[in-house]
C-alpha cells in the first residue's frame, strides 16, 4: 500500500478490490460498477486513481503489456516485455494520488553497494529485496503515475495459499521461507528502514530465472491468453471516459499446489515498499498492515511514533502464518476488537493503561484478563493455536509435524516478538540469533540455496 500524496477524490475511498463503488468525476457522473472477482475496483479509474491500461499497450516506448499480474489499493501491476532487454518484467503503475515512497526506498537500496551491506546474516537479506530495474512516469486521463519496473514473481504467498485451500506448506519449505522473511527484515532494519506492511500478500514467490527469458509464444503456451471480462455499470450507464471497457484478470503461472511446493521453489522476494519509512528521518503514527497482523500500539498508542518494533510484531504474525493454516490473531470479521480479543486470549491481559482503554474488555474477560469461557468455545491460548493451526492440518495432510523441542524453540522466539509494549519487544538481531532460526529455519534455507 502506498500512502496517499493527496486526499482521494470524494467518493473514491481506498477500494478493497472486491466491492462496488461510486465514481464521482468533475462532470458529476455518478456511476456504479458491478464488481468483478480478482479485478481492481473500477471506481478507482477516476481523478487521482488508476491509469487505464490494455494488453498490447506500450509504455515508455519499450514496455509491451502482455498480461496482468495483480492490483492493490494503490496500483495495477502488469506483466510486460522489456523490448530493449528482451525479457519479461513487472510494471507497477501507481495511482496518480500515491506518493513516491516506494520508488525512493527501492532506489536507495539499489544504490547500496555490497560494501555498504557489510557481512553477516543481515547482508543475506539483500537477496530478498526487489530489484528496481527502472522507473518512469506516464500521463493519463486521471493524472501522472509513477511506474516501477521490477522482476516478475510467480505470485504472492497469500495467493498461493488461497489457491491451495490453505493447505500447510511442507515443513522445510515453511522454515526456509520464514528464514528469508527474517533475513529480509534484518537487512532492512540494518539499513534504517521499517517495511511497514509485512504480510503474506507482500511476500512473493520468485520465478526461476529462465522464465524471464520466455518468448511471448512460450508465455502464452504456459499461461494462456489474458482472461478478460467486460465491465458493466448499474443501470447500463455508459462508461465514463478513462475507464477500461474490460477487466483483465491476473495471470497464473502453473505451479505445484502449496502443500507440494518443492524447496527449490521457495525463494521469496519482499514486495510493496509503499509504507516503508526511516524512523530516524520521519515520524509515522499509523501501521497499515491488515488488522490481524497490526501491532497493538497502533490502537492503544496512536499518538506515539511507530518504529522497528511494529515490524517485529508483524514479522511474528507473518512467520506464524507461513507455518500455520490461519493467522495467529484471526479476526473473522476483521475488526480491531476481535484482534485484541484474540491477542488477550493468546498472550494474556494487556498492559493496565491499554486494558482500561479497551471498552469491550469485560464482555468476555474478567477484570484480571482471564477469559470467561463459554461451554463450547475453546480458549485460544498460544498452545491451543499451535496445535490447532500448525500441527493439526499437518496431521490431516499426513505431513511432518514439529517435535516438542522445535515447538519450544519456535514459541520462545515468537513470545518476545509479541511483547505488548513495543519498547519491550525483542530486536531483529535477537530473532536472527534465536534457536529456532539458527537450528531449524536457517539449515533448511541453506539446503534451499543448493537446489537453485
Ligand atoms: N513483481 C511482481 N511480480 C508478480 N506479481 C506482482 C509483483 N508485484 C506485485 N505483484 C502483484 O500485484 C499485487 C499488488 O501489488 P502491491 O501490493 O505492490 O500493490 P499496492 O497497490 O501497493 O498494494 P496495497 O496498497 O493494496 O497493499 C500483489 O499482491 C501481487 O499479486
Ligand 1 proximity of 69 Cβ (cutoff 6 Å): yes
d(CA 352, ligand 1 centre) in Å: 39
- Ligand 1 atom at minimum distance from 153 CA: 3
- Ligand 1 atom at minimum distance from 102 CA: 22
Neighbours of 239 (CB within 10 A): 17
Residue 260 annotated in ligand binding:
no
CA distance 281 to 307: 11
Which residue's CA is minimally distant from atom 9 of ligand 1? Answer: 77
Cβ partners under 8 Å of residue 326, min gap 6: 166, 389
Torsion on CA atoms 422, 426, 431, 436, rounded to nearest 10 = -110
For position 9, what pLDDT does the model report?
30
d(CA 71, ligand 1 centre) in Å: 6
d(CA 77, ligand 1 centre) in Å: 6
Ligand 1 proximity of 409 Cβ (cutoff 6 Å): no
Ligand 1 proximity of 385 Cβ (cutoff 6 Å): no
d(CA 205, ligand 1 centre) in Å: 12
d(CA 91, ligand 1 centre) in Å: 10
For position 380, what pLDDT does the model report?
92
Q: Which three cell numbers stand for residue 418?
A: 509479541
Choosing from 204, 249, 276, 314 the residue with most ligand 1 atoms within 8 A of its CB, the one to mutate for a pocket test is 204
Cβ partners under 8 Å of residue 175, min gap 6: 323, 440, 441, 444, 445
Which residue's CA is minimally distant from atom 19 of ligand 1? Answer: 72
Neighbours of 388 (CB within 10 A): 15
Task: Specify whether the CB–CB gap between 1 and 275 falls below 8 A.
Answer: yes
In angstroms, what CA-CA distances link 317 with 63, 250, 339? Answer: 37, 27, 12
Choosing from 92, 145, 147, 202 the residue with most ligand 1 atoms within 8 A of its CB, the one to mutate for a pocket test is 92
pTM of the model: 0.92
d(CA 202, ligand 1 centre) in Å: 7
d(CA 255, ligand 1 centre) in Å: 19
CA distance 62 to 81: 8
Domains of the chain, start order: 22-450 (1.10.510.10)
Ligand 1 proximity of 272 Cβ (cutoff 6 Å): yes
* SS3 readout for the chain: CCCECCCCCCCCCCCCCCCCCEEECCCCCEEEECCCCCCCCHHHCCCCCCCCCCCCCEECCCEEEEEEEEEECCEEEEEEEECCCCEEEEEEEECCCECCHHHHHHHHHHCCCHHHHCCHHHHHHHHHCCCCCEEEEEEECCEEEEEEEECCEEEEHHHHHHHCCCCCCCHHHHHHHHHHHHHHHHHHHHCCCECCCCCHHHEEEECCHHHHHCCHHHHHHHHCCCCEEECCEHHHCCCCCCCCCEEECECCCCCCCHHHCCHHHCCEEECCCCCCECCCCCCCCCCCCCHHHCCCHHHHCCCCCCCHHHHHHHHHHHHHHHHCCCCCCCCCCCCHHHHHHHHHHHHCCCCHHHHHHCCCHHHHECCCCCECCCCCCCCCCHHHHHHHHHHHHHHHCCCCCCCHHHHHHHHHHHHHHCCCCHHHCCCHHHHHCCHHHHHHHHHHHHHHHHCC
Does the complex come out with an ipTM higher than 0.90?
yes
Choosing from 40, 70, 95 the residue with most ligand 1 atoms within 8 A of its CB, the one to mutate for a pocket test is 70
Neighbours of 86 (CB within 10 A): 10
d(CA 284, ligand 1 centre) in Å: 22
For position 235, what pLDDT does the model report?
86
Instruction: Give which of 255, 247, 257, 271 is closest to 152, Cα–Cα.
Output: 271
CA distance 321 to 318: 5
Ligand 1 proximity of 21 Cβ (cutoff 6 Å): no
Which residue's CA is minimally distant from atom 6 of ligand 1? Answer: 69
Look up cell 458529476; give the residue. Answer: 28
Ligand 1 proximity of 157 Cβ (cutoff 6 Å): no
Ligand 1 proximity of 201 Cβ (cutoff 6 Å): yes
CA distance 289 to 206: 22
d(CA 16, ligand 1 centre) in Å: 13
Ligand 1 proximity of 72 Cβ (cutoff 6 Å): yes
Torsion on CA atoms 156, 160, 162, 167, rounded to nearest 10 = -140
Q: Mean pLDDT, 10 residues at a time, over the chain (452 residues)?
A: 38 33 49 94 96 97 97 96 97 94 94 72 87 96 97 96 94 98 96 97 95 95 96 91 96 92 96 97 94 96 97 98 95 87 95 94 89 82 95 95 97 98 98 98 97 74
Amino acid at each position: 500500500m502506498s500512502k496517499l500524496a493527496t486526499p482521494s477524490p470524494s467518493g473514491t475511498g481506498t477500494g478493497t478490490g472486491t466491492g462496488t463503488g461510486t465514481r464521482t468525476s468533475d462532470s458529476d457522473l455518478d456511476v456504479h460498477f458491478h464488481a468483478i472477482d480478482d479485478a481492481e475496483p473500477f471506481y478507482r479509474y477516476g481523478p487521482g486513481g488508476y491509469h487505464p491500461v490494455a494488453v498490447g499497450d506500450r509504455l515508455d516506448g519499450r514496455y509491451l503489456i502482455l498480461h496482468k499480474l495483480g492490483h492493490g489499493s494503490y496500483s495495477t501491476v502488469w506483466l510486460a516485455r522489456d523490448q530493449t532487454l528482451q525479457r519479461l518484467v513487472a510494471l507497477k503503475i501507481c495511482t496518480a494520488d500515491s506518493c513516491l515512497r516506494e520508488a525512493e526506498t527501492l532506489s536507495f537500496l539499489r544504490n547500496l553497494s555490497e560494501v555498504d551491506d557489510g557481512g553477516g546474516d543481515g547482508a543475506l537479506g539483500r537477496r530478498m529485496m526487489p530489484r528496481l530495474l527502472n522507473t518512469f512516469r506516464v500521463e493519463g486521463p486521471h493524472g501522472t503515475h509513477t511506474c516501477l519496473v521490477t522482476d516478475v514473481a510467480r505470485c504472492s504467498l497469500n495467493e498461493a495459499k488461497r489457491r491451495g485451500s490453505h493447505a500447510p506448506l511442507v515443513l522445510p519449505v515453511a522454515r526456509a521461507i520464514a528464514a528469508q522473511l527474517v533475513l529480509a527484515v534484518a537487512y532492512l532494519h540494518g539499513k534504517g528502514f521499517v517495511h511497514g506492511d509485512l504480510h503474506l500478500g507482500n511476500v512473493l514467490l520468485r520465478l526461476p530465472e529462465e522464465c524471464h527469458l520466455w518468448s511471448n509464444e512460450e508465455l502464452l503456451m504456459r499461461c494462456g491468453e489474458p482472461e478478460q471480462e467486460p465491465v458493466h455499470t448499474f443501470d447500463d450507464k455508459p462508461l465514463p471516459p478513462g475507464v477500461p471497457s474490460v477487466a483483465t484478470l491476473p495471470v497464473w503461472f502453473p505451479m505445484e499446489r502449496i502443500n507440494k511446493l518443492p524447496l527449490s521453489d521457495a525463494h521469496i522476494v519482499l514486495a510493496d515498499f509503499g509504507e516503508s519509512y526511516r524512523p530516524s528521518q520521519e515520524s509515522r503514527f499509523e501501521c497499515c498492515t491488515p488488522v490481524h497482523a497490526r501491532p497493538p500500539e497502533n490502537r492503544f498508542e496512536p499518538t506515539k511514533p511507530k518504529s522497528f518494533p511494529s515490524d517485529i510484531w508483524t514479522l511474528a504474525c507473518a512467520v506464524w502464518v507461513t507455518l500455520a493454516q490461519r493467522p495467529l490473531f484471526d479476526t473473522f470479521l476483521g475488526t480491531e476488537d476481535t484482534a485484541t480479543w484474540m491477542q488477550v486470549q493468546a498472550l494474556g491481559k494487556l498492559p493496565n493503561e491499554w486494558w482500561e482503554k479497551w471498552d469491550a474488555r469485560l464482555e468476555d474477560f474478567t477484570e484480571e484478563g482471564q477469559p470467561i469461557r463459554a461451554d463450547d468455545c475453546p480458549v485460544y491460548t498460544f498452545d491451543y493455536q499451535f496445535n490447532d493451526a500448525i500441527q493439526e492440518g499437518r496431521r490431516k495432510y499426513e505431513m511432518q509435524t514439529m517435535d516438542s523441542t522445535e515447538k519450544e524453540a519456535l514459541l520462545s522466539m515468537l513470545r518476545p516478538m509479541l511483547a505488548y509494549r513495543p519498547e519491550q519487544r525483542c530486536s531483529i538481531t535477537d530473532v536472527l540469533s534465536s534457536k529456532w532460526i539458527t537450528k531449524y529455519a536457517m539449515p533448511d534455507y541453506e539446503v534451499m540455496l543448493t537446489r537453485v
